[in-house]
Structure 1
Amino acid sequence: MDRFQAMQVFARVVEAGTFSKAADSLNLPKPTVTRLIQALEAHLDTKLLNRTTRRVTVTADGAAYYDRALRLLSEIDELESSMSRAKRNPKGRLRIDVGAPVAQLLLIPALPDFYARYPQIQIDLGVSDRPVDLISENIDCVLRAGELTDQSLVARRIGEFHSIICASPAYLKRHGTPLHPTDLEGDDHVVVNHFSHRTGRIYPFFFTNEQGERLEVHGRHALSVNDSNALLASGLAGLGVIRTSTFMAQMHIGAGALVPLLLDWCADSVPIHVVYPPNRHLSAKVRVFVDWVAELFARSDLIHRKCSLPKPQPNAALHADKAQEATVEVPATA
């Protein structure tokens, strides 16, 4: 028995005065109404209604139950109505944590659209790649790239970051251009490694070609970093070959400050998730943000772009080459 439905049916029978009228108003078969009332009385072990061939009257216990049930049903209706209003017009403070590149290049430029839809939501945006404790730090959700290790959280995969191998024109002038992934393991080349800030493990370079051949490459390095912005800055400074996300590299490739390499081989992509605590009743403000950011990533050309990127302009590459010869300062856009 659905006790909530039985309670609704009982209240309607009391108000209508007959089973037939109650059934008609609820758009239910009369036998269903009768069965629910009988089941409710059996569950309560109490006679709620006196039945005659013409009319139904309420017993003393039925009257008391009706009064309490009516208040409860009214409160439920009010709760559902308020939740519906909150969903249509969510408001309040929303605490989010994202990595710096995602914040700068993807999320913040799109926030005017979010505020146009949900003007009463206030966002507190933490920008970091550090592990956060969503519960103890009272953070509503985070955006994180890579495989997730905390199985106690709810994660919704909203896309993936495609990776590309790059180097600066100055680096290529000194070391030459690698023609095959295994060239990165030779003495002629240096890579900038990315290591986990949690475990210190260095992430190798993985490559796959159109024939399905897969390679794992461990290049010789002089520098390792644990931050994606630092990795990009290292490549721009000519410190080695880097593997970075296409959405971070594309503007620098277009300007000639980075040159894409080994385009016959694609580096592994990295999944991106929006992660939030395992609350059974996700608040309206969190729900609309999760849906909005999933929509944002689904339509973002920067996210879906893979190995094929705009070729650098010849003049821009020439100027970048001369600039790299003169200095190793990191550009302000890094």
Structure 2
Amino acid sequence: MDRFQAMQVFTRVVEANSFTLAADTLGLPRSTITTTIQALERQLRSKLLNRTTRRLSLTPDGAAYYERCVHILADVEDAEASLHDTTRGPHGRLRIDTLPSIGRQILIPALCDFHTRYPDIELAIGMSDRPVDMVQEAVDCVVRVGELKGSTLVGKRIGTLEVVTCAAPSYIERRGEPKTLEDLDQHQAVHYFSSATGKTIEEWNFLVEEKAVDVSISSIISVNDSDAYLACGLQGIGMIQLPRYMVTPHLQTGALREILAPWAPAPMPISVAYLYNRHLSPKVRVFVDWVTELFQHCPRMRDCTGGKGFSPECTFASHTKGSASIRDFLVHGNVEETTF
């Protein structure tokens, strides 16, 4: 058995999550893929993959072996590129994961620029309301809000996320504008619930004398999508709390009005992160550099920081209370650390 080819086959099966797709992309018969994985497991005397009729998943040994294979193959790719292909830029499939709102409003509009710079990189962008297992799902890097989890993650802060409390003029006309946090007892919010956990967020976070405080607010509607959440706020159904980059256009047109500004929630860091064994990959390296530059020059992110952009020296207040607040909505897509 060619050990190097077996590593390539194994990693492709993991990344494609399919023996058939791995065979197609490698130009090999499916039977060869199956035979190679079986021979590799016999050679290693360990089961690497759990197979069912519907899905594949890595065993603990498989996850550990996958990480080492990725590292080894990246080293080989770098070595070959440095000797034989100095004129070709980074290439290959790059899978990233991000919050849906960041993906739709910041990353996707700028992808033409990325493709122009790196035409040989195939991007796969995941945007979903659930934690991501970077090993099991073969995710190369993530863009995340909040403190990063996972001791084997390498992270770089690329921006600041500010949260704004706001309401439509129709809501304020109907219910009045809250002037203090105590006034919230007489108001209604739009609630968010996670489609992954079913948990409804019934509390909002505010910063009172540099201390994070959660306040319960009643509601007559809950949604599990950020666009629907914003739409409910625009319709005047209830007050909302969202990242400023999502509501800036509506604040500018007057479709929404900021309220309770003196107690705005503490800003949170936005980071790009990857597993420690991916840092040598050229495609990951250029994406990290590109997304850092993107956030530094993004107009919506500058709007969130008084036109100054992101400064690496920014300090971020931590929210350590155990209750569920709207901040959980913003960090719902954190990475799993159990497999690292």
Is 1:234–2:232 an aligned residue pair?
A: yes
Give, in whole Å, the separation in 1 of the partners of 2:223 and 2:147: 19
Tell me how large the CA RMSD over aligned residues is: 3.1
Shift of 1:213: 6.8
**What does 1:1-334 align with in structure 2 at a 5 Å threshold?**
79=80, 81-82=82-83, 85=86, 89-184=89-184, 186=185, 188-195=186-193, 197-198=196-197, 200=199, 202=201, 204-208=203-207, 212=210, 215-279=213-277, 281-306=279-304
Within 2, Cα distance between the matches of 1:83 and 1:274? 30
The structure 1 segments of at least 4 consecutive aligned residues displaced by more than 6 Å after TM superposition are none
Any unmatched runs of 5+ in structure 1? 1-74, 310-334
CA distance in 1, matches of 2:263, 2:207: 5
Q: How far does the alpha carbon of each residue in 1:202-251 deviate from its partner, in whole angstroms, 9 at most, with x for none?
A: 37323336x64764322222334444333212212222111101100011
Aligned partners of 2:119 and 2:86: how far apart in 1? Answer: 15
Q: Distance in 1 between matches of 2:156 and 2:197?
A: 22
Cα deviation for residue 167 of structure 1 reads 0.8
Q: CA deviation at 1:83?
A: 8.6
Q: Judging changes above 3 Å, is the alpha-carbon distance between structure 1 residues 292 and 203 closer, same or farther for their aligned structure 2 residues?
A: farther
Partner of 1:279: helix, strand, or coil? helix
The one-letter amino acid of 1:235's match is G
Map of 1:54 onto structure 2: none
Q: Secondary structure at the match of 2:94?
A: strand
Q: Secondary structure at the match of 2:261?
A: coil
Q: Percent identity?
A: 43
How many angstroms apart in 2 are the aligned matches of 1:290 and 1:108? 15
Distance in 2 of aligned mates of 1:108 and 1:218: 35
Secondary structure of 2:162's counterpart equals strand
Q: 1:22 maps to which residue?
A: none
Return the offset for 1:82: 3.7
Distance in 2 between the 1:147 and 1:195 partners?
Answer: 21
Q: Distance between the aligned counterparts of 1:203 and 1:273, measured in 2?
A: 26
Q: For residues 238 and 151 of structure 1, do their structure 2 counterparts lie closer, same or farther at Cα, with a shift above 3 Å needed?
A: farther
Q: Are the counterparts in 2 of residues 263 and 308 from structure 1 also a CA contact under 8 Å?
A: no
Secondary structure of the 1:156 match is strand
Aligned residue identity for 1:216: D
Closer, same or farther: CA 307–240 of 1 in aligned 2, 3 Å: farther
Unaligned runs of 5+ in 2: 1-75, 308-340
**Take 1:283 and 1:228, find their aligned partners in 2: how far apart are those partners?**
33
Q: CA deviation at 1:281?
A: 4.8
Bigger mean CA offset, 170-179 vs 214-223: 214-223
Q: Is the 8 Å Cα contact of residues 96 and 126 (structure 2) preserved in structure 1?
A: yes
1:255-298, CA deviations, whole angstroms, 9 ceiling, x for partnerless residues? Answer: 33211112333222232222322316531011100111011112
1:225, 1:231 within 8 Å by CA — same for their partners in 2? Answer: yes
Report how many residues are paired.
231
Q: Normalized against structure 1, the TM-score is what?
A: 0.60
SS at match of 2:267: strand
Alpha-carbon distance between aligned partners in 2 of 1:307 and 1:263, rounded to the nearest angstrom: 15
Code of the residue aligned with 2:245 in structure 1: it is F
The structure with the larger Rg is: 1
Contact persistence 1:98–1:129 (CA under 8 A): no
Task: Give the TM-score, by structure 2 length.
Answer: 0.59
